[in-house]
């Protein structure tokens, strides 16, 4: 996972549903095989937990999730009904089975970590919480923002964008500078020819309107640039 930048992603309901289905099949299989009672699975936008606990690493030794520090004790309650040190090895194996099934990786490892929460939880972070709720206990697994974004399809906005001046450089836009309406005799209109000067009712102090396809873009004033007649943007 690329850690050179923080990913920012808004995850919609459809994507949550897709990821929920991705996890729930494995959760249901594990729950039916090991736990004393059926549980429920929820996929939520993650809030900052009280502690970071145990880091979860994939087969490439990349940290991609973490869970509660006492998760093995919680698993003991789910499977055996109470906590006992004699169940420690079994609960560690149950944890491995759960993580391997959820994340489809047979080489997952877990170790105690002191994690920087700023890397996981920030405005716009796509970090997600997998919440497994049972009558006896509740388990939360937090997925790293990079891991979450790698599971989602690319946003359409991820396509490389070019500067607007490059995109529009071959596009010819037809613009109009519009005066205030005035009345002109039909005979004078028929006699118009290039170079004629028309006297209008438009005040020299009043701004002109620059329009495109009958949409007013802005108001402008007459100006001059390098001896060419020009317009100067007054307001938008």
- Buried b / exposed e across 153-188, counting CB within 10 Å, b at 16+? eeeeeeeeeeeeeeeeeeeeeeeeeeeeeeeeeeee
- Residue 51 dihedral angles phi and psi, to the nearest 5°: -145, 160
Phi–psi pair at 109, nearest 5 degrees = -130, 155
Residue 174, token pair as written in the block: 């037809």
pLDDT at 209: 86
Give every CB contact of residue 101 below 8 A, 6+ residues apart in sequence: 26, 27, 29, 30
Residue-wise pLDDT tens digits, 83-98: 888 888 998 898 999 9
Position 117 scores a pLDDT of 84
d(CA 32, CA 191): 93
Bridge-based pairing of strands 40-45 and 128-133 is: antiparallel
Q: Is residue 76 part of a domain?
A: yes
Assess whether 23 and 110 both reside in one domain.
yes
Q: Does the pLDDT at position 161 exceed 70?
A: no
The answer as to whether 189 is a domain residue is no
pLDDT at 154: 67
* Number of domains within the chain: 2
Domain that residue 226 falls in: 174-179+200-236
Residues 89 and 143 in one domain: yes
> What is the domain-level CATH number for residue 57?
3.40.1550
26-30, 78-82, 161-165 — which is least confidently predicted? 161-165
């Amino acid at each position: 996972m690329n850690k050179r930048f923080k990913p920012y992603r808004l995850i919609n309901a459809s994507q949550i549903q897709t990821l929920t289905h991705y996890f729930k099949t494995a959760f249901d299989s594990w729950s039916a095989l090991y736990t004393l009672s059926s549980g429920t699975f929820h996929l939520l936008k993650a809030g900052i937990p009280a502690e970071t606990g145990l880091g979860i690493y994939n087969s490439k030794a990349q940290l991609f999730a973490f869970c509660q520090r006492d998760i093995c004790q919680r698993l003991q309650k789910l499977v055996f009904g109470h906590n006992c040190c004699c169940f420690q090895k079994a609960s560690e194996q149950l944890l491995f089975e759960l993580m391997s099934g959820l994340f489809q990786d047979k080489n997952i490892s877990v170790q105690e970590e002191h994690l920087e929460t700023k890397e996981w939880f920030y405005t716009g972070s796509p970090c997600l919480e997998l919440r497994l709720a049972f009558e006896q206990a509740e388990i939360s697994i937090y997925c790293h923002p990079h891991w979450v974004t790698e599971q989602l399809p690319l946003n359409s906005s991820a396509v490389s964008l070019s500067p607007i001046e490059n995109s529009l450089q071959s596009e010819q836009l037809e613009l109009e500078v519009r005066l205030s309406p005035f009345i002109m005799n039909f005979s004078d209109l028929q006699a118009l020819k290039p170079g004629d000067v028309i006297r209008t009712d438009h005040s020299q102090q009043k701004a002109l309107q620059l329009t495109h396809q009958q949409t007013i873009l802005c108001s402008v004033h007459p100006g001059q640039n390098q001896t060419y007649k020009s317009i100067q943007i007054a307001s938008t």
